[in-house]
Amino acid sequence: MQAATEQVRTEFIQLWSQLGQFWGIPAATSRVYAWLLSCPHDVGADSEEIMRGLSMSRGAVSMACKELRDWGLVTTLQEPGVRRARHAVVSDLATVIRNIIRARKRREWDPILDGVREWIPRLQEDASPTATTLRDRLESIEACVGMADGMAQRFLAGGKLSELGLKTLTAAARTKPRRKR
């Protein structure tokens, strides 16, 4: 029975590490997250257990855990009177999705919007074909990324989009799929 559990755990970790890359999370970081997600308990922040479990170096595990904290997918817990901290994985699907969207917005959309919003006014004085073309294309980028950013902001703020979409998504994730025969 334990061999089957370990096989499923290994396959889950492998798949999650591949999927994480689509969300912008490095494969090693996704592997550590999946391993933590499959643990029935919080794991010591000294990373020995993670290193053994994933056959990764201390540096790789440390960097992955730092990245996971930055993404908001793990928290570090420090109990009073105990020297060792522990990593607690964020396992609530709604929180995980929000944290990934928040991090991607901060890392990708915000810099693009900041840049185009600074550059467009600087091109207003120049009527050359190059400036006109560049301004038009930057305005197009601003409109597209701005729309996605606005949807993300509404989702992160917890409005109707969040209530309806995320509740439906998490409810669907909790229902057991029919097995193929």
> Would the pTM of this model clear 0.85, i.e. be above it?
no
* Per-residue pLDDT at 77: 83
Structure tokens at 38: 């499959």
Three-state helix/strand/coil letters over 6-71: HHHHHHHHHHHHHHHHHCCCCHHHHHHHHHHHCCCCCEECCCHHHHHHHCCCHHHHHHHHHHHHHH
- The predicted-structure confidence for 56-78, as pLDDT tens digits, reads as follows 998 999 899 999 999 999 988 88
Structure tokens at 130: 């190059």
* Per-residue pLDDT at 117: 95
* Per-residue pLDDT at 114: 95
Q: Is 157 helix (H, G, I), strand (E, B) or coil?
A: helix
Q: Is 96 helix (H, G, I), strand (E, B) or coil?
A: helix
Q: Which residues of the chain have pLDDT under 50?
A: 161
Q: Quick one: CA dihedral 37, 40, 42, 46, positive or negative?
A: negative
